[in-house]
Structure formats: structure tokens, C-alpha cells
Amino acid sequence: MFKAELRETYKQLRHNLLIDDIENLSLEIANKLLKLPIWNASFYHIFLSITEHKEVNTDYILNILSGKDKHILVSKSDFKKGTMRHFLLTDSTLIKKNSYNIPEPVDGIEIETTKIDVVFIPLLAFDQEGNRVGYGKGFYDRFLDDCKPETIKIGLSFFEAVNRIDDCNNHDIKLDYCITPKQVYTF
Ligand SMILES: Nc1nc2c(c(=O)[nH]1)N(C=O)[C@@H](CNc1ccc(C(=O)N[C@@H](CCC(=O)O)C(=O)O)cc1)CN2
Ligand SMILES: Nc1ncnc2c1ncn2[C@@H]1O[C@H](COP(=O)(O)OP(=O)(O)OP(=O)(O)O)[C@@H](O)[C@H]1O
């Protein structure tokens, strides 16, 4: 299947979920994450969910990370450049929604992309090989490209893998894991 087609299908599937489902499924995903061998690292990047798009609610993962005293990084997106800058999330970080309804830190301590050990990635779809489909603006393609090679890339999805994404290109960086409410995929 092609990315454009998968984007439309999976946006619709997500849209059909009930608010209660989103909470329960997001909690399942957070619980599954605890089984991964990723908890010795230091810098964890996480997305702040766009609730209007019914993304996986990352609040449960944020709770795990702060319970484990990890450094948590969240981003500010530049929609003109298609790039992201990363800031430490602390008790005093002010979060404000941008015009795309993405919650973002207002300011804070900026951290270089190369410091990041683990990235949790929002997905619309993914395949059995660990390829992913996002919104198609290239934010995560560019971001993952700037990470160090050993950074662990973990997709989060309410839905299971499709067989194959047919139009992957050389910008695409594969996931190491994908977590769904039902299972952990290791690539
Ligand atoms: N929570 C979160 N943060 C993220 C992403 C994400 O997917 N989720 N991104 C991942 O790349 C980047 C932002 N990318 C985005 C790209 C497009 C739209 C957006 O609203 N696009 C359409 C509407 C989409 C729809 O129909 O559902 C629009 O332009 O109106 C939002 C975020 C960086 N931060
Ligand atoms: N490293 C990069 N540098 C510059 N442009 C890039 C890079 N990676 C991807 N792009 C561009 O960004 C767009 C992303 O398209 P693609 O179909 O790969 O989106 P996607 O798989 O949904 O990923 P994303 O979630 O990052 O948007 C393409 O136009 C591509 O040319």
C-alpha cells in the first residue's frame, strides 16, 4: 500500500475511536513499553499528543519517565522549515498549544539532537519491516536523520502493522520497535 492511501485510512480509523478507548489503549501501550530493554538510558524524547487528532495519549509514558527520573525532552516545531528544536521538560516548563494544536514548551533549556537516547514517535501507520507513515511533512524524517545512529526509535500506534509500505524512499529511517495495545514489534 502507498503512504497517501495509508494516511487517509488510518486518520479515519483513529477518528472513529471513542475518547474512552483512547485512554485505555494508551495505558496498554505504556504498560507494554515497560517490557522493553530501554530503561538504562538518560535522554528520552516524547511527543505531546494532539488530542484533536486522537493521537496516542503520552501522559502515561510521561508519568513513567518522571517516576524513573529520566531527562524528558519535548519539541517546538518550525512549520516553515519542517524542523524541531528540543527542550528539557521540567516542573516549571510552560506548555502552550501552537496553531496546529500541538502542545509545545514556551521556552527552556535547549538540548542537542545528538544527546537523545530514545525517541517515541507518533505514527499514522507502519509495516512489518519497521517503516512508518507520518503526516508527510518530513518532521520526523529530518529529526531521526539528525539523531546519533544508536538512538532507539520506538513507534506508538493504536493499530497493528500493515504488510508493506510500497513507496518508502532513502529518507525513511526505520523503527527499532513499535508498540501497539496488543503487542511489541521488534525490527
Ligand atoms: N503530537 C505530535 N507532535 C508532532 C508531530 C505529530 O505527528 N504529533 N509531528 C509529526 O510529524 C510534527 C508536526 N507535524 C504535523 C504535521 C501536520 C499537522 C496537521 O495538522 N496537518 C493537517 C491536518 C491533518 C489531518 O487532517 O489530520 C493540516 O495541515 O491541517 C500536524 C502536525 C512534530 N510534532
Ligand atoms: N532528511 C531529510 N531532509 C530533507 N527533506 C526530507 C528529509 N526526509 C524527508 N524529507 C522530505 O519530507 C517529506 C516527507 O515525506 P514522507 O512521505 O517520507 O513522510 P512520512 O513518511 O509521513 O514522514 P514524516 O512523519 O517525517 O512526515 C518528503 O517530501 C521528503 O522529501
Tens of each residue's pLDDT in the chain, 187 residues: 999 999 999 999 999 999 999 999 999 999 999 999 999 999 999 999 999 999 999 999 999 999 999 999 999 999 999 999 999 999 999 999 999 999 999 999 999 999 999 999 999 999 999 999 999 999 999 999 999 999 999 999 999 999 999 999 888 999 999 999 999 999 9
pLDDT value at residue 171: 85
Ligand closest to Cα of 122 equals: 1
Domain layout of the chain by residue ranges: 3-186
pLDDT value at residue 156: 98
Assess whether the C-beta atom of 143 lies below 6 angstroms from ligand 1: no
Q: Residue 94: is it exposed, middle or buried by C-beta count within 10 angstroms (0-12/13-18/19+)?
A: exposed
CA of 141 to the centre of ligand 2 (A): 5
CA of 173 to the centre of ligand 2 (A): 10
pLDDT value at residue 169: 87
Q: Which protein residue has the closest C-alpha to ligand 1 atom 6?
A: 122
Global ipTM: 0.93
3-186 topology per CATH: Rossmann fold (3.40.50)
Residues with CB under 6 A from ligand 2: 3, 133-142, 145, 171-172
Q: Which of 141, 157, 170 to mutate for ligand 2's pocket (most ligand atoms within 8 Å of CB)?
A: 141
Ligand closest to Cα of 143 equals: 2
Q: Residue 161: is it exposed, middle or buried by C-beta count within 10 angstroms (0-12/13-18/19+)?
A: buried
pTM of the model: 0.97
pLDDT value at residue 65: 98
Ligand closest to Cα of 86 equals: 1
- Atom number of ligand 2 nearest to Cα 139: 26
Question: What does the block give as the cell for 39?
Answer: 530503561
Cα(74)–Cα(143) distance, rounded to whole angstroms? 12
Question: Do the annotations mark residue 164 as ligand-binding?
Answer: no
The alpha-helical segments, DSSP class H, found in 46-184 are 59-67, 139-146
Closest CA to 48 of 87, 80, 4, 8: 87
Question: Do the annotations mark residue 104 as ligand-binding?
Answer: no
